[in-house]
Amino acid sequence: MAERKPITSWLTDMDGVLIHEGTPIPGADVFIKRLRDSGLPFLVLTNNSIYTARDLHARLRRMGLDVPVENIWTSALATAQFLDDQRPGGTAYVIGEAGLTTALHDIGYVLTDHDPDYVVLGETRTYSFEALTKAIRLINGGARFICTNPDETGPSAEGPLPATGSVAALITKATGKDPYFAGKPNPLMMRTGLNAIGAHSETSAMIGDRMDTDVLAGLEAGMQTFLVLTGLTTVADVDRYPFGPSHVVESIADLVDLIDLPDQVDQGKQAEKAGKPAT
């Protein structure tokens, strides 16, 4: 197998990697600071479409994690990018929160329940039977069905909550129409994210806590993958899948030293030119 190129850009999931139920995971602050000090392009990703990137920036900052708005990539932003590429200036009936509606407004979409081009389903803690009924009728009437992400459950302090994937299954059962999921594990989310920061998959790494979304998306996008054990997946779970991560580590803290600071990068380049190992 050909040797992988050095990692020069990083993508990391948020929940289960950097934070857990509103609390930073030990080492996450050091990891983010190291990334920022390095000057390397990076993104913090989440399949949760509830919040805008600005909301998430503020929430993370309160936890001591200073992630710039432009370094946050959500499934809502990926969905908006996809729709803007497919049908610029279109219309959509949306079930979701500000993260999704804002992303669609920002690309010039009109949100309407009158003969929309798309029905777009995102995350919300208040799914309405009336709204779901409207979505089903619009899809049966010809609207295309789009979902931000396929996660069937989401975390909460009280336990798992039904998430977008579960609600999408209800709509599919009622309409016979499968949605297109823009978020992980669709590699589209990774590729549009990489494009946003000017990075290439061949020299990028994806960090996540889930085999079925984070690792799969990173693998299919052609990146190195790191599975951390601070979220949903255990070591015993890994062998249940027909694919595996490039590396398994205990937590994000174990990856800090893999991020090269500018002086280390310069030393490496000088040593390479001189034909000597970097110190």
Q: Which residues are catalytic?
A: 13, 15
Q: Running DSSP on this structure, what letter comes out for residue 15? A: B
Would you call the peptide bond into 185 cis, given omega within 30 degrees of 0 as the criterion? yes
The SS3 of residue 217 is helix
Q: Which of 120, 116, 117, 115 is nearest to 103 (CA)?
A: 120
Residue 75 CA to residue 195 CA, distance in Å, equals 15
Residue 11 CA to residue 72 CA, distance in Å, equals 10
Residue 46: strand pairing partners: 74
> From the CB of residue 244, how many other CB atoms can be counted at a distance below 10 Å?
14
Residue 185 CA to residue 175 CA, distance in Å, equals 24
Residue 46 CA to residue 184 CA, distance in Å, equals 9
Residue 193 CA to residue 213 CA, distance in Å, equals 15
Query: Tokens for 11?
Result: 């993508």
Residue 249 CA to residue 261 CA, distance in Å, equals 21
Sorted by sequence, the CB contacts under 8 Å of residue 21 that are 6+ apart come out as: 155, 156, 157
